[in-house]
Structure 1
Amino acid sequence: MNKKRMNCIITLSLAVLYVICAGLSFNICYSKEGRDFENASMNYVNLLLDNINNIIYSDGGAQNLDELQEQLATAYTEFYPSYYGVYDKHGKLVFKNSSYIQSDDIGFIPVDANDEVTEQYLLFDKELTSYPVIDKFCYVTENNKIVPTKLYFVSADESIDKNASKVIVLSNKKATGEYISKISKTDFLGFTSNISYNYNKVNKKIKNDLIDLYSNKNVSISDIGNTGGYNGCDEAKYTSTFELDGKKYYFIVHVKHSLFYDTLISQTFKNSIYNQTFLFLIVAVVLFVTLNKMFDKNEKLNQARQAFTSAAAHELKTPITIINNQCECLMENVAPEKQQEYISNIYRQNRHMSSLVGNLLQYNRIDFVKIQKTKFDFKIVCLEELEKYESLIENKNLSIDTSEIYDDEMTADEKLIRLVVDNYISNAVKYTPNGKNLKISYDKYKGFIVFNEGSHIDEADKNKIWEVFNRSVGDEVIESSGMGLAVCKKILDAHKFKYGFNNLATGVEFYFKTK
């Protein structure tokens, strides 16, 4: 699987999980919204029914339908789209809830606000920082009652919503009068207060339900009577009866709530989605970064393994080919006078392969070795490893300086550090020309340093020399497996020691230090 496909799978998985979590959040908020509506609608209807009883039966209560309508309209505030109507015994609508205009000098004037009026009012209300109030209105007089025909709205706080105004036409009847309130703005109240902007769609369905109900000739008003009511998760219906002025009336209230819509716009659901989105973004970033790093690391590891296998096969192929060739010469008795040379070549190539296989096993074994750190005298380690190369140093007539190997302790895995010291010294001896100088030094501040006179290492190869089977210039004439520094790198990385090399004026120094 490539990286692009992996990222697509991660994205798709996160998207599916996000949708599932959003669905769970919506379901929780939906249930909460339903419970809130059920409780609020029950309280609202009970309050409404109690108000009817109080208005009718209390001392100085309503004596006729006009007084009942006025006192009922001003006795409560609705929190959900609702419809109530008062019907006579024949099922005829006497009055229903509506908006109204009220001030001290004009009293109560009902305004039958249809869907279009309500929509205009709500849109204007939404644009304002404050809330709309009526600055003036035009009216006609019908049956000794004032009937508004045109409403002029302004903002309640004109200092904030400057020049904000709205004219709403209620009817095309020619106005016979105009009422202007310059001192105290009149409020446009009633069923448009404190409701969501999906009111019109919901209230239209409520009214259509009631129209259908009363247009059904098979249902009489007496059949409806005192039915008590019904309360669901997004709808509440109640009916009741009362008497006023010796006549029987029926009161029907229908509260409707667009539960799905109001859940979507509820602050609880919005906060839930905000928090979920923030959390998912963090998880997505962490997941993408972590998995992509792991993928890249795994790709590099696979590439390294393939390179290692190819290099190992290449390194073993040469001595095997030489051995096969020399053995064929011996078996076919080619140039008998060179048989001793053939045997020497076979022996030398066999030793080279044995050393190579040993280094390969050692290189791979380091990954599985647990670092056992102990304190040991590093000077003793240096001198003991140096003894292995005394004869080679004498044969090449090298001058070696060990005066700056100080007697300090080191905390590390002694066996593994011996391998590093051995490889550093071995490389220095091999690559130092005859008659030149070597210097080995150590203290706990500068670290372990091996310097040898000779050719510089090309800067382009400064990282390659730590790779397996890499050889510097001149290795073709020097017996080397090309794995010494790769082994050192693994050991020093495992210890988290700092290491490297420097090209100096007359040669090269390799170093490592614990700090």
Structure 2
Amino acid sequence: MKKTRKVLSIVTVVVLVLYFSSMAVLYGNMKDTVKANIYDEASTLAEEFNNNSYENLEHFVSVTNQSLPMYPTKYYVYDETGENLLAQTSNQIMFQYGPLLKYGIVNLDEYLSEKQIEQLAQMDNKYSSNYSTFKYAIDGDKVIPCSLVYRILPDGTDGESFNFTNTKPTGEISCISKYFEMDLYKAHSTDFQKKDYDFIDKKFKDGKVPKAECKENKSDPWGSAIDYTDEVFIENGRYIVKQVRVVGTEDENAYYVITYTAANLFKNVIEDFRFTRWTTGLSCVFTVALAISLAVSYSIVKKEQMKYARYSFSNAAAHELKTPLAIIQNRCELVMEKVNEDKNDEYVKSIYEESIRMNKLVKNLLQYNSLTMNTDIDKKACDLDRIVKKEIEKYRPFAASKDVGIENLAVEKCSVKCNDELIGLVIDNFLSNAVKFAIPKTVIKVSLTRKGKKFKLGIYNKGENISKEQGKELWELLYKGDMSRSRDENSSGMGLAICRQILELHNFKYGFENKEDGVEFYFIAK
């Protein structure tokens, strides 16, 4: 059985080593895996957006002075999955693309602060007009956001924000109105988006946004334009573009604010997100494998234990029955051969005593075997103090014959859930051993004390302490060094082994303690 346990332990260790090795390999190859399977895919998606391989929808909504405090205009826009609605659009888009926009409504106001809304309102005056453009990408039954453009055509009469009077202004993004510098990238519903947003938001707050690049864009449909573009955190794998565009027309300048993401390419977040998903899946696989391994191990160990128990039982039974049978056979031969007829009565008495011993031994062996095979017993609420008192009264005559007294200190009422007959048998065995090994003219003390919701029963007698070697095997079946085994006392040597089985079936803790001048056997009921 030890060999089997060793093999099973090795198998379990191998499974665990494989698991942690897989985690290490997965983590070590994460960057390459992300670049090959995620980053490049997302880059391809960005190119498709930029090359208009998707159907781009542009919706223009005129905003009047009366509606400015209610800015932003409402849109219907979904995230990449097509399931989480990020913004609300007009009834026209809802009517035209209603079958696609079927998951609910969310107001874009949720993603802008009151201060931002106020700033947007201040950007306009009664002589100005503005337009909001939201670009979508339709992919099957999904609506994917591409970009948001807020366009203003000022007349410059207020002189508050706009410093350019020609089509080729110079300078950096700080030259444009501070009201253009808005972060429209907000956290949405998924954990991935939340982590993504928190990272970007922290970069903005820390002031680590690079300065804008200024370049001329002659391909703009509105005419020659100057683009101020921030490609933010491109070195970390995220491609966010913030643009302020000044577009020249025949009569006046038009200013754009564009905030969009080509794709979710923030590698740190993706690595964490994908690593979490993969490790979760891998953990589930190894958990199932480990559970199966442990279940098989438990089954094999139980079979080995049963096999060993049957072997021990049959071996012990044969060994213990051998001695009384040999005595009976010898006495019968003496009677039959008439060796000494004057002692025939003595021989018959010896045969009778050995048969009684055999009967008791067989009874104990069968009881032990029954307890070993059982996994459940009938239990009910019992008065433990009453059981103790009953067993003490039963042993008083036997103790008196050994010149030993018994003092009952178990006066506290105690109710526990147990099998009263089996627990009575345990107390019987403890008292029997205490009387046998107590020093004459001493008193056995039986105590019952409360420990929270538990009760400790202790039976103490003055006598020799039990050595460590004896203590290790004291509760084993027919232990050869068992001090309770004595032919003079008509003992089978199975008392403590039976007690162990009974107490383990009850899930009661048990043991013994060497005192200064004696030994106390105990069990803790709950």
Larger Rg over CA atoms: 1
Q: What TM-score, normalized to structure 2? A: 0.46
Question: Higher relative contact order by CA 8 Å / sep ≥ 6: 1 or 2?
Answer: 1
